[in-house]
Amino acid sequence: MATRVIAGKEVQVNDEGFMTDPSEWNKDIAAAIAAEEGIPELTPDHWKVIEWSRQVAKNGKSPTLRQITTGTDVNTKQLFALFPKGPAKKAARVAGLGKPEGCV
């Protein structure tokens, strides 16, 4: 397992850059990863998705796009606006979770 320093903290990541230990995550790490993903600022809507995803994650596995839209009342179009080009995958990375099942 590889390690990487994000927001001044060393964390464990897999070969795709997803954190492997969600307990190492914090909000500063979320902001740093978001910036890497082209999201300059995390708004309250971003945090709604991130915090919900962390609450429902099972063993570090992220919810799917459909689960996020159903659980947060953020529709698909809004989710793509918040996390462009692969919202479930980007939301998972920012939330410090593993890659959602079914994402390529």
Q: Which residues are annotated as catalytic? A: 103
For tokens 């689960």, the residue is 67
Query: Both tokens of residue 78?
Result: 């809004």
12 forms beta bridges with 3
Query: Both tokens of residue 94?
Result: 């920012």
3-class SS of residue 85: coil
